[in-house]
Amino acid sequence: MKAVILAAGAGRRMYPLTQETHKCLLPVGDSTLVDRMLEGLLQVGVSEVMLLTGYMHDQLQAHLGSAYKGMRLEYVFNERFEDTNNVVSLLRALQGYDLRDEFLLLEADLIFDFSVLRRAVDSPASEVAILAPFKSGMDGTVAELREGWVHDIIPPERQQRDGVTRYKTVNIYKFSHAFAYGPLLQMLAYYTERFEENCYYEKILGMLIYAGQLRLKGEVLGDEAWAELDDPHDVVRAQAIFDGQRLLNQLEYNFGGLWNFPVIDFNFIRNIYFPTDAMVEEMRQKLPDLMHNYGSRQAVMDGKMATFLRCQEEPLILLNGASQAYPILAEFYAGKKVLIPSPTFGEYSRVFSDADTFRDHPDESQDLSARLGSYGLVVLVNPNNPTGTLWSTATLWKWISEHPQVDFLVDESFIDFSDQPSLTTLEALPNLIVLKSLGKSLGVPGLRMGYLYTHKRELHDFFQVRLPIWNNNSLAEFFLETGLKHRDALQRSFVATRLERERMKGLLAGCPGVGRIWPSAANFFLVEITAEVDLEAILRQMLRLSGIYVKDISSKVDCRALRIAVRTAEDNDLFVECWKKCYPLAARPATSAGRA
């Protein structure tokens, strides 16, 4: 078997990375794309390769030479690479050379597990297309399957949202000699002569399928890793996908943007049961209008949030995410003596870097009341993050009312997952400030919504003058409007989270290497990990095996621990199954555990 690699394109979407370097010579990990591809071909027994070149032909040939670790390389130059597409490159190869056998056709901007090639080579079918389940963020050509055979190949201009299940073409094919030098060559020559030369060869494949001249088997990938590199962002994603530690580092550095990476997110905490499919569909249908319009001014948005929450409008300020409040609070309370929990959400120790702390631990029933009177501001996170510990609302209200000279900032971002009511539902207290991140409870952190609720007029005015007229976007505004119809579903989502939290706790308790599971009133757990587990190794293995991303928070607490979000039952079962599979690979010998 031979291989044909299409490598003529200039890769302009990859600029500036490809202005002086051929795209397939870009490094991913410790190898270039083309070197990795040739290594994969060797692994499946391919020793003859034809490269269709154009852009930076000399650079590519100088890098590879005429032989590669015993592999015979041949080059076909498409001098018209700037004004034609790969349909012409493939035509040149078939017209000028008789490959004499079946061959693999690949595009040079791919990176993949070597097992992907094995799927094509081992398939009993004569003509094979490697496909992958379509995921959000993918673009390019897709295929429709019927009983395992490709029924249609659909370019981007013909793709519609019609509910049909489609698969992304991976741009790896296997063709027989009879097909390649019969129907394929004839159609390539006819179409490029009569119609156009600036199209992709997959358009020709689609025509041949429609004409009944190609029966193409679809081999759908499972957990095999692959990536297509079209732009510089793809390079970052590919680096991460093929290096577990690099992916962990990249995810920690990004602090978001997870749609770019193949992960199941057990790190960032949101209500996995909300919004409903109906709400998402309403947002999707309204998206063009929302993209083309501003959101309303701050005063209007405050009113809409108050309507959604069924609370007074006067003490409420809608924020562009709760994180917007931290620098303003730090400015307002500058010079004041502050008390915060430890551990807690990192922003509090960052903005109040000189604060005193009290220990937040389920074993301690520490009475804070004796300490409260000496502070200008006391921060309470209820339930706390990352511990999940909870104070009763009645206890907090008692402390706040008994210390009118002390301001209390109570973060209620996770209160909806507990059995306690919000302090905003009780009698107004002028020294109470409630802060809440709505991304957690509403399940839409990307819409950046939170609020500050306070009857402290000085602080309220201090915030208002620091917010722009357009502080929230139109998507967030429409979400609040449509959410009025879905309050019952929201309440059901909290109940579902609590039930699944208790079920998941039982699952985790049966896992090897899991020590104490802290009591949690939120939608996550703080889980202590026993000494024999190499945490870095098991997190890397879980990410590689099942795409599971979870946070090691050992540096924030006084034990080796993970914070694990509560997701759907299916995801939680996968987490436990994956943990059990990876544990033997990450468990250190007893002698090492004793020194840990």
Q: How many whole angstroms separate alpha carbon 362 and alpha carbon 559?
A: 14
How many CB atoms are closer than 10 A to CB 334? 8
- Model pLDDT, residue 15: 83
**What is the distance between the alpha carbons of residues 28 and 242, in angstroms, rounded to a whole number?**
8
Element (H, E) at 4: strand 2-7
- Residue holding tokens 């990307």? 446
* pLDDT at residue 251, as a whole number: 75
Cβ-in-10-Å burial (0-12, 13-18, 19+) of 350 comes to: exposed
CATH class of 251-271+490-595: alpha beta
Q: What is the CATH number of domain 296-472?
A: 3.40.640.10
pLDDT of residue 595: 35
Q: Mean pLDDT per segment of 10 residues, for the chain of length 596 residues?
A: 90 82 84 90 92 91 84 89 86 87 92 91 95 73 90 73 74 95 94 87 92 94 83 75 70 73 87 94 94 93 92 93 96 96 94 93 67 94 95 94 97 97 94 96 94 96 94 94 93 97 96 95 96 91 85 90 96 95 82 38
User: What pLDDT shows up at residue 243?
Assistant: 67
Encode burial over 352-374: b for 16+ CB neighbours within 10 A, e otherwise: beebebbebbeeeeeeeeeebee
pLDDT at 593: 40
CATH of domain 2-238: 3.90.550.10
Fold matches, 251-271+490-595 and 296-472: no
- What is the C-alpha separation between 353 and 338, in angstroms, rounded? 9
Residue spans per domain, the chain? 2-238, 251-271+490-595, 296-472
Closest CA to 521 of 412, 410, 390: 390
Q: Which two tokens stand for residue 519?
A: 């009591």
CB atoms within 10 A of CB 132: 21
Instruction: Could you list the beta-strand ranges (E) of 63-133.
Output: 67-68, 71-77, 103-107, 110-112, 128-133
3-state secondary structure of 339: strand
Please give the pLDDT value at position 355. 96
Contact between 123 and 48 (Cβ < 8 Å): no
In angstroms, the CA 575 to CA 528 distance is 16
Distance (Å, whole) CA 402 – CA 131:
66
Coil/strand/helix, residue 403 = coil
At 255 the pLDDT is 74
Q: What is the pLDDT of residue 158?
A: 64
User: What's the pLDDT at 137?
Assistant: 56
* Amino acid 594: pLDDT: 38
